[in-house]
A and B are shown apart, each in its own frame.
Chain A
Amino acid sequence: MSELGHLLAGFSAALTLKHLTMCFLGVLMGQMVGVLPGIGPAAAIALLLPLTFGADPTSAIILFAGIYYGSQYGGTLTSVLVSVPGESSTVMTTVDGYQMALQGRAGPALGIAAIGSFIAGTLGTLGLTLLAPPLAQAALAFGPPEYFALVVLGLTALAAVGSSVLKGLVAGVAGLLIGTIGIDPQNGIARFTFDQTWLLDGVEFIVLTVALFGVGEVVASCALGAARPVADVKNVLPTREDWRASRLPILRGTGVGFVIGVLPATGATIASFLAYILEKKVAKDPSRFGKGAIEGVAAPESANNAAAAGAMVPMLSLGVPGSGTTAIILGALIMFGIRPGPELFTKNADLVWAVIASMYIGNVLLLVMNLPLAGLFARLLKIPYRWLYPPILALCIAGVFSQSNSVQDCWLLAGFGLLGWLMKRYDWSMAPMILGLVLGPLFESALRQSLTLSHASPAIFVTRPISAVLLALALIAVTAPLWTPVFAPRAKAI
């Protein structure tokens, strides 16, 4: 049977009342999980797992997949409205999305995020439908040196996301340093933990993010004392102009997101960073970014949804996890007595295709759910900001605490919140610091794994073709300002 035949059979299974209900429940829960910063889709699925024992595995996997991609929609909401990223993959949305909200354009921001997510989720699922086995096989070519080169390419963006090159680099390196706290991933030695047991696992990404963006924003607003003008909610949905500006970023974000998602060691978070940076690089006027550019919302939101679909590719066709969340879904399959592996597509075709079909349906459900919600939630901002402080802080604390039930994390939240305020006060961009912390561990692991493989010879990075190409791209990105003038006259002529 061809892919299309399989897919039609999948749809006929997914459209039964039972599976449709599960799909709806999944995306609804995903949406809610996305809003709360501490609980991610992986934790939500793990908590639900024991409750689904004995259930029909297809229903359960449809539910879990729904939670996964649904959470990519939900995380946007708090990012845009109150500058608290609900999910690690919506950090970049916060940068421009919150600025748009301040300008009274929360509706278009949420609207374009929902539309972009829908397009990316659907195209990503299409990619999963048509290309899964060959793509997954190709992704295996990515070993430690290739991941290292990819991270280097991402790091070249450190300076690009900040307000100034120097500040961006300093904040980025600080983020990388924070990433080294805890148990060394190669030798198991404790670093910078000052004999504190609770620091052995390092600083959780979500703690730093919520502190810098959420708490920092609240403290900064309080410190200013001036009442923030109540945002005038203009149009609720994106205008024709917004749509025109976002069309290509959505497509580019989808492409970047899907490819990064398919790679087993990288996921939605890195995808959203790279998509944002790409937009800033190709934009005619990069200075608009960070000040409410709609492309800065459309691209990363598309990328994280495409990445969620992409992460299903290695999971379903090879049985290897494509992200933390798919690792848990793999665990779920095992609990249901289904052995994930290369034979899943043939041996459990009914399940696989019903899940893929449910992803098309789930994305439609999410669009239908989110477009009216965008308008509704945008109106929330009519509430005077001083009434919003306490619930925002409560959301930050509850979110961080719920991650690992740790009081120390709450103290870190307070400390980094203060730092966030100082950074805002002196116009330091926070995104490079977060980017440093996200990429740091992968950077270090990939570098050390590569050098272990090569017996400490750095030649491994340039003798392997994929790695060499990625490093060349990074070099071009860094040196671009030097030779752009050469092309400038021609660019003007256009």
Chain B
Amino acid sequence: MRCLTRLLWLLAALPLAALAQGWKPTKDVEFVIPFAVGGGADLMARVIHKIMVDEKLVPVPVALVNRPGGGGAAGIGYVAASRKGDPHTLILINGTTQITPIMNPNAKTLTEVKPVMNLMLDDFVFFVRADAPWKSLGDFIKDAKSKPAKSMAFSAGGTTDTMAVTVLSKATGVQYNIVSFNSGGEALTALLGGHVQASMGNPLEFMGQLQAGKVRALGVVRDSRFAALPDVPTFKEQGVAAPNFQMWRGVAIPKDAPDEAAAYWEGVMKKVAASPALANYFKENVAQAAPIPSKDFHAFLANQEKLYRELLGK
């Protein structure tokens, strides 16, 4: 039965193949997720996979494989070792995979893959509890400046949240006391419990609390307002000269795979990006669709790397 369906697929793909000269997959494709089942990166890979299958974008079966560990390095290490140059391989990449080698130079990530396309950007929002005295970013900074350094404690749910607080710290010249938690959920819990004064995090975790009026959003770290949060002013609007800071998520193939394969996968990802199912996923997750084609993706990544190194002091 499976053989038959596959044969039918091949037949269906024939006329297409004649049109699109160049590479196309001829055997099963492996979509490697270098993160554990259930995280944000995993979920997005599963949504992309579902769109590829439902909308029949690829003529062969695509299997999802989780290879978690080492901030993406274990999964990409697996690709570099076992699927070297194999164009029948897709890898989910994100800001974390880029930060990993900055922190631990032994862990190789983006240098081992060929980025194909970026799909989304995730924002960082500044939150305080609804009963906090600060009504704006200006209020908060004024108060922080009047007190000794590190008087204001922030909960951060991971390296990227910590970097967002560093952005604020650098832009305002105030040192904050950053308390690291294992997840955005834990950082939120610490804020709700009043153990810290403020938090920086992705809108997703805080959205329910924001809608219920339990927390207040004082600003978002980007150049223009986020369409999903029209009432939240940017840092720049409030006179804080912070660079645009967002986390990206995209797709790559192995480093030595042929350029024709990269072009093929870019075509597939463009169709994925245009799918209403992906738009809906972004809407529910309060994220921004950001299809960046491969010609711009490399420059974007180089730019991000520079910003990350600056923020991490490496």
Contacts and interface: CB of A to CB of B under 8 A. Distances in A.
B159 A140 contact: no
Interface string B32-63: 00001110001100110110000000000000
Contact of B37 (A42, A142, A321): A42
Contacts of B172: none
Given A143-B190, A339-B208, A404-B68, A197 B74 contact: yes
Interface string B205-243: 001110110100000000000000000000000000000
Contacts of A197: 69-70, 73-74, 77, 106-107
Interface string A44-71: 0111011001000000000000000000
B195 A143 contact: yes
A142 B193 contact: yes
A144 interface: yes
Contact of B211 (A144, A183, A334, A341): A341
A341 B208 contact: yes
Given A141-B193, A142-B193, A195 B68 contact: no
- Interface centre among B196, B208, B209, B212, by most chain A C-beta atoms within 10 angstroms, is B208
Contacts of A185: 180, 182
Contacts of A406: 67, 69, 74
Contacts of A225: none
Contacts of A344: 208
Interface in A335-349: 335, 337, 339-344
B157 to A, nearest CB: 11
A26 B208 CA distance: 27
A404 B66 contact: yes
Contact of A200 (B43, B67, B70): B70
Nearest to A340: B208
B192 A318 contact: yes
A334 B204 CA distance: 9
Given A140-B189, A264-B189, A453 B195 contact: yes
B211 A343 contact: yes
Interface string A303-344: 000000000001000111100100110110011010111111
B284 A334 contact: yes
A324 B37 CA distance: 11
- Interface centre among B38, B65, B181, B192, by most chain A C-beta atoms within 10 angstroms, is B38
B106 A404 contact: no
A421 B42 CA distance: 37
A198 B190 contact: no
| Contact count band on B | 35 or more
A42 B38 contact: yes
A164 interface: no
- Interface centre among B50, B69, B103, B190, by most chain A C-beta atoms within 10 angstroms, is B69
Interface in A404-420: 404-406
Contacts of A327: 38, 183, 185
B132 to A, nearest CB: 15
| Contact count band on A | 35 or more
B71 interface: yes
Contacts of B29: none
B47 A50 contact: yes
B290 interface: no
Contacts of A49: 43, 46
A449 interface: yes
A186 B189 CA distance: 17
A264 B38 contact: no
Contact of A320 (B49, B178, B188): B188
Contacts of A343: 208, 211-212
A455 B150 contact: yes
Nearest to B70: A200
Contacts of B86: none
B67 A404 contact: yes
Contact of B50 (A43, A53, A183, A330): A53
A43 B38 contact: yes
Nearest to B280: A337
A335 B69 CA distance: 25
A190 B104 contact: yes
Contacts of A195: 106
A442 to B, nearest CB: 9
A185 B186 CA distance: 13
B179 interface: yes
A114 B193 CA distance: 36
B153 interface: yes
Nearest to B77: A197
Interface in A232-273: 264-265
Given A140-B192, A200-B74, A449-B179, A321 B185 contact: yes
Interface string B263-289: 000000000000000000100110000
9 contacts: A46-B38, A49-B43, A50-B49, A201-B70, A201-B74, A344-B208, A405-B66, A445-B182, A452-B177
Going nearest first, the 7 A-B pairs with the smallest beta carbon separation are A341-B208, A200-B70, A143-B195, A46-B38, A140-B193, A319-B208, A46-B37
